Amino acid sequence: MTEPPRDSSAPQVSADAGTPLLNIPNILSGIRFIGSFGIVAIALLGGGPILFPLTFGLIMTDWVDGKLAIAWKQRTTFGARLDSLADVTFYSSVLFTIWWLKSDLLVAEGYWIIPALAAYGVSCLLGLIKFRVIPTYHTRGAKTGWLLAGLAIPLVLGLDLAWPLRVVGIWILAVNLEAILITLVLRRSAVDIPSIYHAIKLRKQQWAEENSSQSS
């Protein structure tokens, strides 16, 4: 029996088998991963004028690497995993920096941040239970959240403003709730899922492929 045609509007989660792992998008993710430890080191030294430029530069690598991977057809599962690892490391370093330099502010706004972190933890745990991997969906909401977090950093560290933490906390909570729904919807693990809508379409594709395989 022939395999049913794929839905061309469904998210494409796999890359060409010949795509090299050492490419510009993955190098940018690697720079973000390594640079995150530089942010921590600068924070431990009390901050300084290089903190904001370094942070902004690393945020830009996050903004650019995915676009380049798509434009140059260099998307790989390894790259998606590396990108997520770099993201977690980067934002953990930023959270540590805020705690180290502005601990009173972070503690005061903890009730906005803790639910977001808890939702992320649930999302990771659910992915590990169902697919044995930490989800790396890179949804549109998550990408917007990274931008909001990048804009919030100078406002929090430079101006002692609390409301950016609240905005980011609420947004990250919503993003991880969507990630949880995506994990529940998918039949098999996948990367680079723009939204829950795309996850539902991909589920239908996965289901059709499984039925086709069983029938053949």
Q: How far apart are CA 131 and CA 189, in angstroms?
A: 6
1 part of a folded domain:
no
- The one-letter code for the residue type at 176 is N
Position with higher pLDDT, 161 vs 15: 161
Domain residue limits at 55: 24-215
Q: How far apart are CA 96 and CA 115, in angstroms?
A: 17
Q: What is the pLDDT of residue 3?
A: 38
- Please determine, for residue 14, whether its predicted confidence score (pLDDT) is greater than 60: no
Q: What is the tens place of the pLDDT at every residue in 32-76? A: 999 999 999 999 998 888 888 898 888 888 778 777 877 777 778
Q: What is the pLDDT of residue 181?
A: 97
Q: What is the tens place of the pLDDT at every residue in 173-191? A: 999 999 999 999 999 999 8
Q: Any idea of the CA torsion for 74, 83, 154, 157, to the nearest 10 degrees?
A: -170
- Please determine, for residue 206, whether its predicted confidence score (pLDDT) is greater than 60: yes
- The one-letter code for the residue type at 111 is Y
Q: What is the pLDDT of residue 214?
A: 74
Reported confidence tier of residue 136, pLDDT bands at 50, 70, 90: confident
169 part of a folded domain:
yes
Q: What is the pLDDT of residue 178?
A: 97
6 part of a folded domain:
no
123 part of a folded domain:
yes
Reported confidence tier of residue 18, pLDDT bands at 50, 70, 90: low
Position with higher pLDDT, 103 vs 62: 103
Q: What is the pLDDT of residue 198?
A: 95
CATH number reported for the structural domain that contains residue 195 in this entry: 1.20.120
Q: How far apart are CA 37 and CA 166, in angstroms?
A: 25
Contact status, residue 80 vs residue 12, Cβ threshold 8 Å: no
122 part of a folded domain:
yes
Q: How far apart are CA 184 and CA 59, in angstroms?
A: 30
Name residue 136's beta-bridge partners.
191
53 part of a folded domain:
yes
Reported confidence tier of residue 216, pLDDT bands at 50, 70, 90: low
Neighbouring residues of 87: CB distance < 8 A, sequence distance ≥ 6: 32, 62, 146
Contact status, residue 81 vs residue 41, Cβ threshold 8 Å: no
Instruction: Say if residue 159 is exposed, middle or buried (CB neighbours under 10 Å; 0-12, 13-18, 19+).
Output: exposed
DSSP state of 162: S
- The domain total for the chain is 1
Mean pLDDT over each residue of the chain, to the nearest integer: 84
17 part of a folded domain:
no
- Please determine, for residue 17, whether its predicted confidence score (pLDDT) is greater than 60: no
Beta-carbon count within 10 A of 194 CB: 16
Q: How far apart are CA 166 and CA 121, in angstroms?
A: 19
- The one-letter code for the residue type at 81 is R
Q: What is the pLDDT of residue 148?
A: 87
112 part of a folded domain:
yes
